[in-house]
Each structure stands twice: as C-alpha cells, then as structure tokens.
Structure 1
Amino acid sequence: MERALSWLVLGLVGITGGAVYLSGQTYDESLFGLDPASLASVTPARLPVNTIVVVPAGPTRVGARPRQTDGAAGVLASVSLPGWRTLGDVEGFSPTNLYEKINGRAEQYISYDFVGLTYRGLATDDGTRFIDVYVYDMGTPEGAFGIYSVERDPDAEGLPLGRRGYRSGSSFFLWHGTYYMQVLASDADDALTAQTRRVVEDLLQSLPDAGSTVPGLALLSAAGLVADSEKYYANNALGFGFLTHTWSADYQVDDVRVTVFVSTQADDAGADAVVAGYRSYLDDFGAKITVSPGPGGTGESLFGDMDGYYDVILRQGSRVAGAALLEDRALAEHVAARLLPAMVTDGRDGDG
C-alpha cells in the first residue's frame, strides 16, 4: 500500500513538472509585453552634445515662476517644429530652486542677479533627436552679458544673433537684452543645426530686447580690442577676490596679447577697498610698489615690480583699471599710459 502511494505521488510530481515545462516553452505576452500606456509619460533619455547645463538625476519640480519670466514662458509654450513634439510642460525656476536644474552652477548665476529660468524640451516624433531650450532672465543687460561672457567658448566663432551669440556644434548660445539663451542639440549635423537655429530665430523675434546700453562695455576702448574677448565678472575677477563688478578685455599690443580690467564701484569707498586689496596682494608677493599721481595729477597710479613680472593699477574716483603679471616693463608702462586712462574716464559706446 505504501509503495503504491509513493508511486502515485511521484506520478503526480512528474505530471506537474511536465506541465510547468510545457508552459515555460509557450510565450505569454501578458508576462513579457510592454504596456504602451506606461510609456506615454516617460521622457526619453538623452545626453545633448555640447550640453553645459547639468541635468539633475531625479525628477525636476516646476518652481514658482517670477513675474518677469512670464513672457518667456508664453513664448516657450508656443515653440514648435514640424515633425517634433514637446516633452512635458514648460518648466520655471527661481533663485530658490535653480539648483534643481543646474546643480553646481546655480550660485554663479545668482551672483549675476538671476531672476528666473524658463525651460522646455523638444524631441523628434521618433524620439531620436532632442533640443533643450533654456531662457535665463538675468534682470539686466549687464547680468545677461556677464553670465554669457564667462561661459562663452573662447574658440567658438561669433554669430550675428541677438546682441552677441555663437554656435558650438548644432547648439546655440546668445545674449539678448536681459536674457541669456542656450538652445542645445543632441547631435551635431547640418540638418539639426538648421532646426535649432529656427528655434533661436523664433525666440529672438518673440522676446523683447529693450535696447538699453551697457555702460561697462563703453569703458573698454575699441583700439586694439580682441573681438569677443570682453567679460564682466560680478565677483572674483581674474581670480582676485577683491575685484568685484569688473569688466575685462584682451588687447593686442604689437605681438603680445594683454588682458586689462576696470572695476566699477558704487562710490570712492568701494574703489579704496579695491586698491587696498591690490596693495595687499602685491605685498604678499614681495613686490616693489611705486605710487604716483594719475594722469593730469588726479587719482592714483600703482606700479608693482615682482622681479620680472609687472602689475599696473590706475585709480580715479570710483573706478580702478589695471593689468596683472605683464612680462615686460616697457609693455607695462605702455599699458599704463595708453590703455588704462580712458577706462577710468570715458570710453566707447556700449552695445545696445
């Protein structure tokens, strides 16, 4: 009896195992098929070529959009290309949550009095190509130019887009009034460049540029200026912590390229602090400092000799102009006499 029961149990196990085996050889779509509905809200993953903006790893929340960026939000809501679709809603970010979109770089934007970021993504209908549109409202033309200038690719050729712009691959970067715009493409080829440029041109037509000039750019003399070398630093200009609100540009002096700067302070006390900071820097490096009156007997001129390297500083009123680490004394004297005086008095017209 026991032997019979044992054989019965073994038989049932065999039958069950066989059924499981046969079932395993049959494809069941309900087990392995993808539910299309579950993909409808998923944004395809991609890594745009030449992307400067760091996209956060987690989902991005839509922040409270400041009133000043409402215009950009409306424009991006209507952005479209034939054969392309939008990826989600227009997103807005304020100074309090900008880090969620450009983590690691938000503080630099905020130092230029950033107001708000408006963003939208586009993708081809087949999901193989992407364009990311970032419109930064910096509040003033100075702030927009500043962040554009310090992020500019020095090797890229300038383009007549907005007030200033350039292309890197199929991506475009431009300064337009109070806006700094990045239109970033996922690949680099002529067809995608044409599509990306179309988005850029739509933005320029739809977003206003009040046309106000930038006084800081007017302080940088035109003679000898290297094109597109101008920069505006809100803080830490040229690596000096005491240099704030500073404009710089490169100049060609014979066969030497020289970087000069002018710090524009709110008052004489601010300029005093800049000069004091520069004196401290020269003292730290054991420089021999010669102090003399500025041009016309006004202001103050500092000449720092650091055993083969020379710094020149000219201060007048609330402005401080200078050049650092020049490798030739005659060159330093030329810069002090020919380039710096105009920067602490009058210069050329700013970009408008």
Structure 2
Amino acid sequence: MLADIAKAVMVLCLSASTATTVQAADARDPLDKVLPSAVFAVDWTMQDKTTLYDSDTLFERINGEAELFFPYGFERLAVAEYANPKHPDVLLAAEVYRMGSPLDAFGIYANYRRPTSVAAAIGAEGFISATQLMYCQDRFFVRIQVTGATALDSEILLACGRAIAENLPSGGERPVEIDLLQIPSVVKRTERYVARSLLGYAFFRRGLIADAMRGGERLQVFLVPEDSPDRARQALDDYRAYLKAEGRKFTAGPPGRNALSTVDPLYGGVFVEQSGSRLIGAIRAEDPGTARMLVDDLRRRLGEV
C-alpha cells in the first residue's frame, strides 16, 4: 500500500497535463479490434463494422459531450452497434474511448457515475442500469447503451462489456492516485479526478475531489497536485488574491503551516493548506474545525508515504 501511495504522489507531481488533444492515430490502430465481432450473447451480432472517431470527428458522434473529453487526453473512439433479430427495434451501442492515462479514463468515467449507481464487477470500476453499462479499464472508458427499449437484461449488457474487457489491457484496480483520498470520512464511489480547473478555479489547474462525512456534516475534500512546492505556493497565493478581490476575509495558519480558512463565495467554509508540492483542503464546511480535521486526516494519509 505504501508503495502504491508513493507511486501515486510521484505520478501526480510529475505528470504533465493531458489537456492537449492527441492527433489521430494510424489507420491500423488496434482500437478497431477491441469491439467483439463475434456473438457475445445468444442472437446478438454486430451490425456493419467498427467506426473510428478522432479529435476532429468526435463531434459527429457526441456533439454535446465532446468538449468534456478533450481535457482528459482523448485520443480515439471505437463504436459498434449490435442487434438481435428477435428484437428488431432494439440496438446496443458500444463505445470504447482511449484516453490519455488510466487516471484520465477514471476521470471521464466518474463524470457519469453517481454514488447511488449500481456497482458492476467489471474493469477497474463500473456501474450498470436498466439501459446502460459504463466502466473504466487501464486508459479506456467503455460505455454501452440501449436504444429502442426502456430496459434490457443486465446479463446481456455485462456479456458485451466483458467481451470488450477481454480485448483491453488488464486493469482491475483503480488508478493509484485515487488512494490519496482514502481517509475514513470519504464517501465511497464519490471520488473524482478533474483534469482542468478544479472547483472552476484556473489557479487550481487539476485535482482530485470526493464527498466526505464528518460529525454528521457533509463536506468535500480535495487535493491539487503541482509540479513543485513553489508552484503549489503560488497556487495558494493566487487563491488568496482571488479572495481579496472578492472582498472575502481569511485567517492564516495555524502557525508554521502555509494554510488559510475562509468563507468562499461559491463553496462556503474552506480550509486549505500547502503540503509540499500539493494543496489539500476541505470545502462546504459549516464548522471550520471540521474542515481542518479532514485536512489533518489527509496530511496523515500523505504522511504514510
């Protein structure tokens, strides 16, 4: 576990932003082989052939969502549809997105997952409903959706998902970076990775965030990785400047720690501090003391490295 957390810290501190869109892959891209062409469940067969989309054509497939994918290093999308002659009006659309990294794939996946989603034992993490199955595995995000019906046997969705998973690199664990948020107060399956402007603030360039419960209070904890302690210090200074511009007061400290507590214009009670090349914090706190306790838990978690 300690080795995993150390690896997570190293990856977060040293990895470059994946916001730049990768150019289209070669026409012989193996992504067109991951969708099963053979029958994965009785009577369900692929219609036509796999269609590939790159950063220039993604809008043709998901016009309203394409911009969401680019900050996560979107490279390419493979799409196929499956039909069953016994149900001619029903189609099963399978999409496999290759993202910039396993963390990016988890990040885009977590945009769709909700704490109340029914977990599916597939990939690194997945969920299932009456009409869809989504999961992430390695640096791939898989989305399978039903059209023409309000429900489909979950075993058919899972059979399709498992057939795809067998063609992807193995990846049964969530990205190690997510372990950095694993403190007792964190609500399971609320963890997210935001690839650009955590909390909507440009000075928090990217980061991890999760819901937390402490003393009957629901808050959120977050972690902003930076390239160096100087960059982390600058990010916190930028936050101070923002608060001043908004006419918000803040309290420094405690002594010996580069930290502050405030009432944020958007997020209520906040406690945030620098921890090496990272910022760690808690938001939406009614009691500033609760926010600080959560941050202390995060400090101890990072101190395990």
Give the root-mean-square deviation of aligned CA atoms.
2.7
Is contact 2:270-2:285 (8 Å) kept? yes
Q: What does residue 164 of structure 1 align with?
A: 125
Match of 2:290 among 331, 346, 350: 331
Q: What does residue 149 of structure 1 align with?
A: 110
- Aligned-partner residue type, residue 126 of structure 2: G
Match of 2:76 among 116, 122, 136: 116
Distance 1:123 1:342, change over 3 A: same
The structure with the greater share of residues assigned to strand is 2
Distance 1:123 1:65, change over 3 A: farther
> How far off its partner does 1:79 sit?
4.3
SS at structure 2 position matched to 1:270: helix
Cα distance in 2 between the residues matched to 1:158 and 1:212: 14
Within the alignment, does 1:99 sit opposite 2:59 as a pair?
yes
Q: Which has the higher contact order (CA 8 A, sep 6+)?
A: 2
Q: What does residue 205 of structure 1 align with?
A: 166
Cα distance in 1 between the residues matched to 2:284 and 2:42: 54
The structure with the greater share of residues assigned to helix is 1
SS at structure 1 position matched to 2:111: helix
1:164-313 matches, within 5 Å, as 164-186=125-147, 187-189=149-151, 191=153, 193-209=154-170, 214-292=175-253, 297=256, 299-305=257-263, 309-313=268-272
* Superposed CA offset, 1:83-134 (max 9, x none): 2332222111112221121112212211011111111011222522110000
Is contact 1:312-1:332 (8 Å) kept? yes
Distance 1:306 1:174, change over 3 A: closer
Normalised to the residue count of structure 1, the TM-score between the two structures is 0.71
SS at structure 1 position matched to 2:88: coil
| Bigger-Rg structure (1/2) | 1
Cα distance in 1 between the residues matched to 2:36 and 2:188: 35
Question: Could you list the runs of 5+ residues in structure 1 that have no partner in the other structure?
Answer: 1-63, 348-352
Is contact 1:234-1:244 (8 Å) kept? yes
* Superposed CA offset, 1:218-256 (max 9, x none): 211331221101000011222323222200111110211
Distance 1:210 1:83, change over 3 A: closer
Cα distance in 1 between the residues matched to 2:203 and 2:223: 13
Extract structure 1 runs of 4+ deviating beyond 6 A. Answer: none
